[in-house]
Amino acid sequence: MEVLERFAAGDSDAFECLFRQHQGEVYRWIIRIVRNSATAEDLTVETFWRIYRARARFDARKGNLCGWMRRIATNAALDHLRRSRREVELPEEMPDTGKPVSAEQNEMRQAIFQAMDRLSPAVRATVLLALVEEEPYENIAKALGISTTAVKLRVFRGVRVLRKELSNAGVRP
Amino acid sequence: MSEREMEELKRLLKESMPAMQDAELRRDLWPAMQQRLAEPAIHMPWWDWALLAAAGAVIFLFPAIVPALLYHL
């Protein structure tokens, strides 16, 4: 029996095999939405927990495990963004570029973070994936379970809010 | 919004929040996963079951209180 079929049948060794094979991929997707490594690690475990619980619903013959995992990972990340809006926001991580950050750049970052906080979690994730990570709209649509047109619409709405907020903060994009 | 303005906004966003494409997982998460799998399912204490049973019995014996309960909810 294939690993996927054994996983769907509840075999824990098959689950471990899939976990080890896909944990990095799921983590890399989640960190692009939540932008914090500790949170992304927790959400990777949460995603696999959801996958484990939903294993009976996975059709091993139809296959697309990666798409299914990505969808579940996106939902876990969005749930986190919704929760963290009500709680204290974790500081956002910056990849180390080795360059010093000027006071002006720091101010700009603050203005952008505040503007991003104005976006709903779904719009924020879409804007991040589309404009910062430059993920193709089709991939974003599949991960969010919406149409490509809906992705474009969310990006449009997000950009409109960002421009307004940045303009209020004295930044002219 | 023009193409140029969109590109400018993209540039600003990317300068403030660089892409995380190269972020790599720094540790194996399987031990954390095993811990999560070993956690017991949500446990409901016995007194919660007792309260639920009592509430069910009251509603069964005195169905007239249902509209009053709904009104106060």
pLDDT digits (tens, 9 = 90+) for B12-62: 888 888 888 788 899 999 999 999 999 876 677 788 889 999 999 999 999
Give the DSSP letter of residue A55: G
Question: Which pTM was predicted?
Answer: 0.78
Q: Does B1 touch chain A (CB under 8 A)?
A: yes
Q: Are residues A161 and A129 in the same domain?
A: yes
In tens, the pLDDT along A51-80 reads 999 888 887 677 688 899 999 999 999 999
ipTM for the assembly: 0.77
Give the DSSP letter of residue A133: S
Q: How far is A167 from chain B (nearest CA, A)?
A: 11
Q: Does A159 touch chain B (CB under 8 A)?
A: yes
Q: Does B33 touch chain A (CB under 8 A)?
A: yes
Residue A97 lies in a domain: no
Residue B12's closest chain A neighbor by CA? A173
Domain that holds residue A62: 1-92
Residue A127 lies in a domain: yes
Residues 6+ apart with CB under 8 A from A94: B17, B18
* CB within 8 Å: B21 and A133: yes
Contact residues on chain B for A40, CB-CB shorter than 8 A: 23
